[in-house]
């Protein structure tokens, strides 16, 4: 466990400690004891002690002498432009079996590939802790980080930490379906919270909790930035209001934030369709990191005066999903319990991954990593713009604006199309769910895939279709699309194909 630990030192502001929230821990978390073998680990790696006790293989027998990787070099101004990427400057990072004194920025394979360090390799953990402090400034002193195998495992761990079979959690009405399955398999019931296209409605949340019957939910599971599936990003004001409501009811928050750094600049219609990303603007600016950081939306972690937030972060969307590297930020007592959990589950993320990612990060430096994120922001802004221009061209200009609406995503990878089911000629004969399936299948037949919104319902109960909505009540069906995955021409083609399906379905 690497703790923030610097607050209060050398005249810096002294932050208060987190509230004692130990009573929120699950039966499982409370029963965890340190693995006895792990307690001896510190002696097994102490060079003054002859260790015949630990079951550690001799690093000389690891069949890996060195691993190397080639990656772009900051400031990445040409890397993502297909025209110039081939000439982009590259750096090579290499990790050897043992430490070289001339390259302190590496975790030697003898360490990275060895047992131990259940909260993650120390140098990487220290790097992540510094990064977290720079970006979020958590407003209490005893927070810490722990490495995970990405947010999928991070959520599994958070559920084990905080819930017991039969408990409930809150989640956005439409949410990441794998997360709901993780809860479901642990016997934990997600209860949906009302949202609009931006995200959670704090007043509705408060009303829901006021009228709650039975034990309160254990935590709110939320994806506040670039939400999956809606693409919505909750404003700082609403985050603060949600935090206050949950604080009033003493409910914890698990913020799942893989899309946090995919926040975008403003959408200017029509300027970017079929063109390359805008030319670099910030590269020469000495203030660029400060400006970039100041544009990022307030995280729940930065509002967390109580220590009631567990933040799940991941390299999946900003480096590659296959790194299988993420981390949890939370108050130390929670991180200590999660370390016990890692000891007997994942042990630690793969040594290959930690070693190579750390080498790259230490070569780039904290500033170089921010440069990378600055460039990603530009790329995603451009893709989002192409997507919105395409939606306008294929849906609005083709007379479908009465049928379909969308919110401009300001972060993430997704856009969420809302269809007025009442406008479908078969509305009344077919239920909204049947209409959704019909459109999904027609789209596949026509060569394009969009994911039906109902697949993301937090409420796993079957929809009661016998309830007839009032005449003035909107009846919507939704589809999720992404602008992240395919090359730009394919994105435009996919939008065109889908608009043809919709025009045929709704207009005949």
Residues making contact with ligand PLP (CB under 6 A): 150-152, 176, 223, 228, 256, 258, 314, 316, 321, 326
The single-letter DSSP state of residue 191 is: E
Q: What's the chain's Rg over C-alpha atoms?
A: 24
Residues comprising the chain, all counted: 508
Bridge partners of 231, per DSSP, are none
Shortest CB 151 distance to ligand PLP, Å: 4
Say if residue 410 is exposed, middle or buried (CB neighbours under 10 Å; 0-12, 13-18, 19+). Answer: buried
d(CA 463, CA 173): 13
| Residue number of the CB atom closest to ligand PLP | 150
DSSP 403-445: TEE-----BSSEEEEEEEGGGSTTBTTB-HHHHHHHHHHHHHH
Shortest CB 212 distance to ligand PLP, Å: 25
Shortest CB 258 distance to ligand PLP, Å: 5
Shortest CB 69 distance to ligand PLP, Å: 19
CB-nearer residue toward ligand PLP: 142 or 316: 316
CB-nearer residue toward ligand PLP: 201 or 223: 223
Q: Which two tokens stand for residue 60?
A: 């000389």
Shortest CB 361 distance to ligand PLP, Å: 17
Shortest CB 321 distance to ligand PLP, Å: 5
Shortest CB 228 distance to ligand PLP, Å: 4
Shortest CB 319 distance to ligand PLP, Å: 10
CB-nearer residue toward ligand PLP: 114 or 230: 230
CB-nearer residue toward ligand PLP: 180 or 387: 180
Shortest CB 327 distance to ligand PLP, Å: 10
CB-nearer residue toward ligand PLP: 146 or 421: 146
d(CA 379, CA 85): 13
Bridge partners of 331, per DSSP, are 143
Say if residue 210 is exposed, middle or buried (CB neighbours under 10 Å; 0-12, 13-18, 19+). Answer: exposed
- Number of C-beta neighbours around residue 476 at 10 A: 13
d(CA 299, CA 346): 27
DSSP 466-505: TSPPPTTS--EEEEEEESSSS-HHHHHHHHHHHHHHHHHH
Say if residue 481 is exposed, middle or buried (CB neighbours under 10 Å; 0-12, 13-18, 19+). Answer: buried
CB-nearer residue toward ligand PLP: 8 or 322: 322
DSSP 260-308: TT-B-PPP-TTSSTTSPPPPP-STT-TTHHHHHHHHSPPPHHHH-SSS-
CB-nearer residue toward ligand PLP: 321 or 487: 321
CB-nearer residue toward ligand PLP: 70 or 184: 184
- For tokens 């670039």, the residue is 226
Q: Indicate the SS3 state at residue 312.
A: strand
d(CA 116, CA 171): 35
Shortest CB 260 distance to ligand PLP, Å: 11
């Amino acid at each position: 466990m690497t703790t923030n630990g610097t607050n209060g030192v050398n005249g810096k502001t002294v932050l208060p400690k987190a509230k004692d929230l130990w009573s929120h821990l699950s039966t499982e978390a409370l029963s965890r004891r340190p693995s006895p073998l792990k307690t001896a680990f510190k002696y097994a790696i102490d060079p003054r002690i002859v260790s015949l006790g630990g079951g550690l293989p001799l690093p000389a027998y690891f069949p890996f002498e060195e691993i190397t990787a080639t990656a772009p070099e900051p400031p990445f101004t040409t890397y993502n432009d297909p025209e110039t990427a081939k000439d982009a400057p590259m750096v090579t990072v290499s990790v050897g079996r043992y430490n070289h004194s001339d390259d302190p920025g590496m975790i030697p394979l003898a360490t990275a590939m060895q047992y131990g360090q259940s909260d993650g390799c120390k140098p990487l953990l220290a790097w992540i802790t510094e990064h977290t402090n720079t970006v979020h400034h958590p407003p209490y002193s005893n927070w810490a980080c722990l490495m995970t195998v990405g947010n999928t495992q991070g959520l599994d761990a958070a559920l084990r930490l905080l819930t017991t079979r039969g408990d409930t959690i809150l989640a956005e009405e439409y949410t990441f379906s794998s997360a709901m399955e993780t809860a479901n398999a642990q016997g934990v019931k997600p209860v949906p919270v009302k949202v609009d296209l931006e995200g959670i409605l704090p007043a509705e949340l408060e009303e829901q909790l006021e009228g709650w019957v039975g034990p309160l939910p254990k935590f709110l599971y939320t994806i506040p930035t670039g939400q999956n599936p809606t693409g919505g990003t909750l404003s700082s004001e609403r985050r603060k209001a949600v935090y206050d409501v949950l604080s009033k009811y003493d409910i914890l928050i698990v913020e799942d934030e893989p899309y946090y750094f995919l926040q975008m600049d403003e959408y200017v219609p029509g300027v970017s369709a079929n063109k390359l990303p805008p030319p670099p603007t910030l590269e020469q600016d000495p203030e660029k990191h400060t400006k970039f950081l100041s544009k990022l939306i307030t995280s729940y972690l930065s509002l967390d005066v109580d220590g009631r937030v567990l933040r799940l972060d991941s390299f999946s969307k900003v480096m590659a999903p296959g790194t299988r590297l993420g981390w949890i930020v939370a108050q130390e007592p929670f991180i200590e319990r999660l370390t016990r959990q890692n000891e007997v589950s994942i042990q630690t993320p793969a040594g290959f991954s930690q070693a190579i990612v750390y080498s790259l990060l230490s070569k780039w430096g904290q500033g170089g990593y921010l440069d990378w994120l600055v460039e990603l922001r530009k790329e995603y802004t451009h893709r989002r713009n192409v997507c919105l221009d395409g939606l306008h061209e294929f849906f609005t200009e083709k007379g479908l604006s009465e049928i379909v609406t969308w919110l401009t995503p300001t972060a993430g990878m997704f856009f969420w199309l809302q269809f007025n089911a009442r406008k479908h000629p078969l509305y009344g004969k077919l239920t909204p769910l049947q209409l959704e399936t019909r459109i999904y299948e027609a789209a596949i037949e026509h060569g394009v895939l969009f994911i039906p919104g109902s697949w993301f319902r937090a409420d796993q109960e079957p929809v009661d279709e016998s309830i007839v909505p009032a005449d003035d009540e909107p009846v919507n069906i939704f589809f999720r699309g992404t602008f992240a995955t395919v090359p730009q021409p394919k994105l435009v083609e996919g939008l065109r194909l889908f608009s043809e399906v919709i025009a045929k379905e709704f207009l005949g």
